[in-house]
Structure 1
Amino acid sequence: MLVKDVMKSPVLSVGPETTLEEAYRLLLEKGIRHLPVVKDGKLLGIVTDRDIRLATSHLNPKGPCPGCTQVGEVVTKEVVTAHPLDPVEEAAFVMRHRKIGCLPVLEDGELVGIVTGIDLLDALLRLTGVTEPSGRLEVRLPDRVGELARLTGFLAGRGVNIHSLLSYPEEGEYVRAVVRVNTLETHLLAQGLREAGFEVLWPPKKPW
């Protein structure tokens, strides 16, 4: 799955001359938290609801026009961006590592989309197959060649279709595989897996 599959497009943006009051009203109306700031088709930066609140908290409410400060005066200019063809897991890593809430998406220097933390959570749901009717298996495998194939071969031999399969390494030279399958009878599958020598973590073994 790529960034282009989950990004929001077209992107709602503002110019640097937009006032903080106008920008904040737009954020509230659209239910969003980030506004790219664009001038002459080029991305200048990002302004967030937090940026606006912090900026206005320092203004004199009795001043001539406390909401007339322009977005260009408070915009965050050093913006980390993504490309439409970036894998979503790389975008998620960048956002987590940089502790940022969104990535504007640029293609040939043009703003074509924006991806947020919520978009990446939606991507995770799609990748795991949890949005479709399915059963879940979690199996710990030795981290060696052929073990994952042995697991998928077992499921294929039972006529079970795999909706999604994610795996990640564990300490002690093991890999944990999380599988979504096209049946809710996962306890029967788990029993068969255990009898075949697999270490099944989910569903747990029934006490009877």
Structure 2
Amino acid sequence: MTSAVALDQRVLVAGVDEAGRGPLAGPVVVAAVILDPSRPIVGLDDSKKLSERKREALYAQVIERALAHCVIEVEAAEIDQLNIFQATMVGMSRAVAGLSPGAHEALIDGNKLPLDLPCAGRAIVGGDALEPAISAASILAKVTRDRLMVALDAVHPGYGFAVHKGYPTPAHLDALQRLGPCPQHRRSFAPVTRALEQIALF
């Protein structure tokens, strides 16, 4: 077991990543993870490069072995209010702030840093494939969001959320035209806006 004294003497670095910037529906999910060097996890990588089965297995290991983790959901209504970029930045700040123990530095996947990070930060392009802590965050965010979209499929049937996870596939766009948007759709996204305008015409 890691002692409090040992933690105090260690520089704690969090990896931060998101899942769900591109979909038309559902939240954007952001995760922050501080890995424990004494409990290594083999096979961490960008979640998009991993099979669903491998992601699920690594998700369980990250939850069990990480020194700290925090997963934040920014819902569709807040995305519409802020825009997707700002919503992602807000989610990253919230995820880092939610870590216990807190991080001394946050490694952010991408080329932008949130302005209100509660610690020092560094943006790393392609970081989810380069930094294990960002890979771990990528996996937590992706698995959490995929599970949420499967659950939302049962609440809002007909859109195919369990299959496409809210991304603008032809099947999703067709369902959007037939059924109109549901409460989980991001109304500020162009295909959803167009569907709403079509409904207004009739």
TM-score by length of 1: 0.26
Higher share of residues assigned helix: 2
Where is the strand percentage greater, Structure 1 or Structure 2?
1
Larger Rg computed on CA atoms: 1
